[in-house]
Amino acid sequence: MSRIIHKGYFKEMFRQLMVIGIVSAGILMIGNLTSILQHLIQNAVMLMPSAEEMASPLKIYVYVAGVILTFAAFGWLNKRARCDFYHSIPVSRTQMFFSTVLAEVCWMFIGILAYSLVFVIRSIAFGAPFNYFLFLCVVVNMLIASVEVTAAVSLACAISGNRFVNIVAAVVILFMPRLLLSCLSWFSIINDPQLVPGAMSIFFDPSYNIIAVPYAFNAMYNVPVNYANGWAMLYTCAYTAGLIALGWLAFKKRRSEMAGQATTHPVIQAVIRISLGIPLLLVVSLLLIETEMEGFALFIAPVLVIISFVIYSLYELISTKSALKMAKAMPLFLVCIAVSAAYVFLPKLIGSGDRNAKLTADDIVGYTCLNYSEGDYFETMLLGSGFDSTYADVMLPEYTFTDAQSREIIAGAYHRESGYPMTVRIKRNSGHDITRILHFTDIEERTLEMLRDENEDYKAEAHSFPKGSRFYSCSDLSRSSSAELAKVFEEEFNALSDAEKDVITNSLLNYEGVGPNITLAGCIGAKNYRNDFDLTELTPKSLSMYLKKVNENSGKKALNTLGEIENWFNNGGEMREFSINISGKAEGYINSWNMVYSDFYDYSTKPEEYTKTPAQTDPDYLEIVSMLANAPLTDDVNDYVYVTVSGDMINVMGLLQGNIGSADGFSMAVKLTPEQISELNRLIPRLSRW
């Protein structure tokens, strides 16, 4: 070990990087602390954090801190005097390289782990649901990514000798290999739209390189990171090990006298230069593949070639400060053109095997439907890592359908180029699964859907009560009350028919969270889900319990708040905005309304009216407020109106000055007479101005 790590030198480098390490970790913490403060001030309920919420600050940190720490640690390589000093001391090149990388990585780890610790403590302290496994995956990914960034930038420093080339080389090393691979897969898909990039090869799957994914390729494939993919982690580890090995070799071979020079070898200089010339030429390749080279394409292609040539030449000029060297380098621009030409033809070769392949129903064991609507393959693979996934989203994509009719349809759709697109994983008799985007006719698509719904196992899974680690919350109840309520709800839910289950199960997209409801957040492995269920007369015990608990918790506060608003309406005062959500189950009342009152709205639209008291301006509002403020509380599941009142005090600019009641408002269930219900139905549609 001492042959690789020099203890004293490691201590020295660790110390030299201390300021940057602490400052960058401190900046990383600001996000955490801001979030804690926000929750403390607003007393808000913390939701289950998504993978991206966990990872986003770390991704920025890994890049920024990784680059800055490495440039600081290896900055001496660019200065002759400093280089001579470090190379004269009794530390071998191997020890020097690995001790430095270790010191950088230690600081990165300290930042990441400190952030992670605070993140977990924050979530526990606020009683938020938390997917520990997913968080562990995110942290492990970020630790690997931090080593990868460090390794890549260290390699860049080892092969270059001034800051400009350090930066350019780092960018090339970090992104160029993945850009080339991703473009190859992208262009292949254009040639053969049935191919799925993530399923072609791990080399074509952008999610297989953690640091290259978040920014560079998100736009190309809309690829979020699959943090729970163990193979991707291993791939990144292997890739990182390769970068470290290359960095070490380059550092070991590097001559001290190269400090200040562009690169340590003319071949490296040529590779970097060519790498810079290629990206824009790939756009030309894309134009050649996708268009007939007419009109705009015909104009833009030569422009791109010229810009590419300028970038190529400018790099040589800036890095070497020699016009002669720039002139000598110019002929090699042909290599860039050759590479871009290869990108026109190579994708055709890659797709040719697939295009010629035949698939019959007998070859197919079954298929797994990876997306149901407009989501693409990557989003489907990541269902659960974000926040917009239900339990069914998480569980059902893995279900394999093996019936003969489905297999016939799949085989028939193979190689079809138009129709309803669906990403499917086809299990074949050969044992080699393939994933393709197939195009189905309307009838085929509906038939497949019907066959899926007819499948008893699938149906049971789709309507089963969410399993796994679970966490309940109801918008107006405490955690413990929610958990108590959930037990009753689960019993009632399991006793319902599938159709009834569908009625009370909210789609995340349409869910507004109005009225009594219970939210169930949980996780299956690294995948998070969240289901929102309405509490209705279909689950009477749960609803009754809910109404009772809400009235106990906040019924009086809601009535007081409404009384206070009523008083304000009559007497006037500071500017206010408030909203009252009304829903419920009462004779003659089935709608759910959101009534909004805004002084600021009135003031800005009708300033002359604002001289009057609110009651004079809007007597209808006062009527509703008075009606609700004086209604009796109830937990009768067949005759209640559920009310949530919240409001703000504002200034003439419309800015918040304080809350009326609390930030989240107060809820209650009240009983209204049929006449009051009728009056409510008459007034509220007019008052729901927003």
Interface with other proteins (CB under 8 A): 6, 8-9, 11-12, 15-16, 80-85, 87-93, 95, 252, 255-257
Nearer to other proteins, 157 or 259 (CB): 259
Which tokens belong to 399? 């279900």
Instruction: Say how far apart CA 530 and CA 393 lie, in whole Å.
Output: 10
Q: What does the chain come to in residues?
A: 690
Q: Give the burial class of 27: count Cβ atoms within 10 A of its Cβ; 0-12 exposed, 13-18 middle, 19 or more buried.
A: middle
Instruction: Say how far apart CA 635 and CA 584 lie, in whole Å.
Output: 11
Query: Least separation, in Å, of the C-beta of 14 and other proteins?
Result: 10
Query: Least separation, in Å, of the C-beta of 71 and other proteins?
Result: 14
Which tokens belong to 312? 């190529």
Amino acid at 434: I
Residue 432, SS3 per DSSP: coil
Query: Least separation, in Å, of the C-beta of 237 and other proteins?
Result: 29
Nearer to other proteins, 13 or 199 (CB): 13
Nearer to other proteins, 91 or 641 (CB): 91
3-state SS of 265-320? CHHHHHHHHHHHHHHHHHHHHHHHHHCCCCHHHHHHHHHHHHHHHHHHHHHHHHHH
Q: Side by side, which strands form the sheet with 420-428?
A: 400-401, 364-369, 420-428, 434-440
Please answer whether residues 145 and 241 qualify as being in contact, where contact means their C-beta atoms are separated by less than 8 angstroms: no
Query: Least separation, in Å, of the C-beta of 433 and other proteins?
Result: 51
Nearer to other proteins, 24 or 99 (CB): 99
Query: Least separation, in Å, of the C-beta of 3 and other proteins?
Result: 9
Nearer to other proteins, 84 or 675 (CB): 84
Please answer whether residues 184 and 343 qualify as being in contact, where contact means their C-beta atoms are separated by less than 8 angstroms: yes
Closest CA to 107 of 46, 34, 23, 215: 23
Residue 245, SS3 per DSSP: helix
Residue 205, SS3 per DSSP: coil
Nearer to other proteins, 15 or 321 (CB): 15
What's the Cα-to-Cα distance from 606 to each of 575, 595, 600, 611, rounded to whole Å? 14, 19, 10, 10
CB atoms within 10 A of CB 445: 17
Nearer to other proteins, 255 or 459 (CB): 255
Query: Least separation, in Å, of the C-beta of 16 and other proteins?
Result: 7
Which tokens belong to 644? 């949530």
Residue 182, SS3 per DSSP: helix
Query: Least separation, in Å, of the C-beta of 91 and other proteins?
Result: 6
Nearer to other proteins, 96 or 595 (CB): 96
Residue written as token pair 């970090």: 174
- Tell me how far apart the terminal alpha carbons of the chain are, to the nearest angstrom: 69
Nearer to other proteins, 72 or 365 (CB): 72
Nearer to other proteins, 6 or 425 (CB): 6
Instruction: Say how far apart CA 590 and CA 583 lie, in whole Å.
Output: 7
Q: What is the chain's Cα-based Rg? A: 32
Query: Least separation, in Å, of the C-beta of 13 and other proteins?
Result: 10
Nearer to other proteins, 8 or 685 (CB): 8
Query: Least separation, in Å, of the C-beta of 98 and other proteins?
Result: 13
Give the CA dihedral 34, 38, 40, 41, nearest 10 degrees: 130
Instruction: Say how far apart CA 543 and CA 535 lie, in whole Å.
Output: 5
CB atoms within 10 A of CB 197: 25
Instruction: Say how far apart CA 372 and CA 445 lie, in whole Å.
Output: 10
Nearer to other proteins, 10 or 471 (CB): 10
Query: Least separation, in Å, of the C-beta of 169 and other proteins?
Result: 21
Residue written as token pair 């609110």: 614
Nearer to other proteins, 83 or 145 (CB): 83
Nearer to other proteins, 75 or 572 (CB): 75
Nearer to other proteins, 158 or 413 (CB): 158
CB atoms within 10 A of CB 462: 20
Which tokens belong to 151? 């390794």
Q: Give the burial class of 111: count Cβ atoms within 10 A of its Cβ; 0-12 exposed, 13-18 middle, 19 or more buried.
A: buried
Query: Least separation, in Å, of the C-beta of 316 and other proteins?
Result: 18
Query: Least separation, in Å, of the C-beta of 80 and other proteins?
Result: 7
573: left (phi over 0), alpha (psi -120 to 50) or beta: left
Query: Least separation, in Å, of the C-beta of 90 and other proteins?
Result: 4
